[in-house]
């Protein structure tokens, strides 16, 4: 069953999402409708996470190298600088490139819940694809987020604003949670976590 805003708020009070925003924020100054942001916070049946300003890495082509998930080479990544202007703080994801960021919010997924992370339509309309990422029952940490810029233009990726939506699905209790089996991506910090085997 897909969980609603009432359930999300109750679980957040018990520490499922930190920091937590109980309403969907579209403007930093709601009474004046100024300072628009890419929405974040609790929606009817989901939660819009924010992208952390801590780190954003972009894959670069290193001639003669082949990416290998069993022997990941961090030299294939370069940090993207954080820029800021009147629209907010942002990273630039170059055209036809791939980048890694991290969620600002820390999650503690309940043992009977699996979370699916999906991209936001505002970014999708610019050609930015957020990889569909699951957070399994019992997983805890800051999600590392994967972005692909499929467009022919560079694109701003805003920090401290909404970047993806979480959907919470309740299932029958499982025998072994991600925490029980000491999953390799458990307890990710608010930094990009690289591929592990």
pLDDT tens track for 140-182: 999 999 999 999 999 999 999 999 999 999 999 889 988 989 8
Tokens at 59, concatenated: 């894959």
Question: How much is the pTM?
Answer: 0.91
Show Cβ contacts of residue 65 under 8 Å, excluding neighbours closer than 6 positions: 73, 75, 76
For residue 74, name the pLDDT band (cuts at 50, 70, 90).
confident
For residue 30, name the pLDDT band (cuts at 50, 70, 90).
low
User: Closest by alpha carbon to 105, among 129, 134, 80, 141?
Assistant: 141
Residue 146 annotated among the catalytic residues of the structure: yes
Catalytic pick from 146, 161, 170, 190? 146
Domain range summary for the chain, segments of one domain joined by +? 5-170
CB neighbours (10 Å) of residue 120? 19
For residue 44, name the pLDDT band (cuts at 50, 70, 90).
very high
Q: Could you tell me if 92 and 163 are in contact, meaning their C-beta atoms sit under 8 angstroms apart?
A: no
CA 190 to chain centre: 11
The pLDDT, as a whole number, for residue 71 is 87
- Mean pLDDT of all residues in 101-113: 97
The pLDDT, as a whole number, for residue 16 is 98
CATH number of 5-170: 2.70.40.10
């Amino acid at each position: 069953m897909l969980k609603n805003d009432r359930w999300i708020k109750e679980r957040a009070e018990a520490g499922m999402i930190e920091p937590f925003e109980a309403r969907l924020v579209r403007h930093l100054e709601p009474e004046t409708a100024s300072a628009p942001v890419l929405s974040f916070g609790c929606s009817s049946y989901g939660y819009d996470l924010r992208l952390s300003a801590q780190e954003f890495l972009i894959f670069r082509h290193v001639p003669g190298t082949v990416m290998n998930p069993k022997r990941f080479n961090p030299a294939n990544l370069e940090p993207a600088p954080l820029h800021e202007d009147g629209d907010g703080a942002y990273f630039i994801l170059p055209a036809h490139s791939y980048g890694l960021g991290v969620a600002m919010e820390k999650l503690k997924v309940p043992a009977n819940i699996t979370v699916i992370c999906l991209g936001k339509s505002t970014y999708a309309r610019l050609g930015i694809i957020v990889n569909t990422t699951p957070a399994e029952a019992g997983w805890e940490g800051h999600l590392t987020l994967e972005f692909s810029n499929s467009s022919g233009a560079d694109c701003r990726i805003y920090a401290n604003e909404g970047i993806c939506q979480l959907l919470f699905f309740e299932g029958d209790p499982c025998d072994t949670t991600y925490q029980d089996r000491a999953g390799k991506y458990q307890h990710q910090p608010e930094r990009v976590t690289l591929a592990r085997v």
